[in-house]
Structure 1
Amino acid sequence: MRKKTTPFWVEGMSVEKRDARVSSLFAWLEQKLCTIHKPGKSPAKRTFVFVPDPPPLTFEAQTRDFEIHHLSWGVAGRAAATESLEVAAALAPVIFDLWSDSLYVLVFEADLPDDTVLERWLDDVLQSELDATPSDKMMKIPLPDYALIVFDWGDLVGEPPIE
């Protein structure tokens, strides 16, 4: 029997419901990271990353007013990254309104790195999490602890956050 997924973001959703969904997203990411932590370990800095796939044509225009780092890689890869939970929470509704086929929301337990390192982290995570046959083109660099949530066609893949 297949587990039913719950639509996470629906057009016409009330502001209160949208705010609750964004809060639950970040609570769920934090919960996923906490399962990685050793007892007594204090949480490190966080880097929040939104990766739409494929990126909408209006991605940069819609996100330019936020204090975020835009990353471009490969032929068409785009991402928005920030170390601020407040900025990530404000950006999330804009990203959810823009997303196309898939959306990857990641939080790395690390400071925001330079573009080269962030690109390698994203490549490594997305290949290891989503591809059955990872590529060995580049030498792997150590990944910080991370949590990943994948959204596909408006449905949350996996367990829906508890509201």
Structure 2
Amino acid sequence: MPEGDVLLSNADGAIRALGPTVLVCECPGDDLDLAVRRIAAFALTASLIIVGIVAARAAPFPILFIAGTWTAGATAALLVVRRRRRLHGLFLLDFDRAEIVQEGRGFRRTFPIQAIARVSTPPAWDADVDEPGLAPRWLLLHLSTGEQLRLGRAPAYALGPALAFLKRAGVDA
């Protein structure tokens, strides 16, 4: 990640200001992606083996319903993880060049800076904190296309400098 003024740095990512008009946000997401891909690969492989066993007439035909259920479940899980992956990544918000660049696992997207509708800080659903003020919140960038980009995750007080940067850049909160 490029050097700059650190606005947020924690285990969930980092946000840096590279001058008054460039914000770099790194929000890699969680390890759910890897776990789901491995479990789905196992389920799909097991389904193919079951189909082969049934094709060889070594198992009864109704067992194919189990293989079909595993295949459907694995496919659905992979689609959900793929959609979640589009929320995370390395974001470069360049207000001088009027563009947002997102680099994620296996993709790169560019949006015009005018596509920013607003920014919000909803609570993270997996928050397991006793103190309400320390509960993590997402720093979400809402685009006019309906997409959301997760720029970072931290308690509300830690997101303050990044929110101030975005407000100075003209983004509505």
TM-score of the pair, normalised by structure 2: 0.24
User: Higher RCO, 1 or 2 (CA under 8 Å, sep at least 6)?
Assistant: 1
Question: Radius of gyration: which is bigger?
Answer: 2
Higher strand share: 2
Bigger proportion of residues as helix: 2
Provide TM-score, normalisation by structure 1. Answer: 0.25
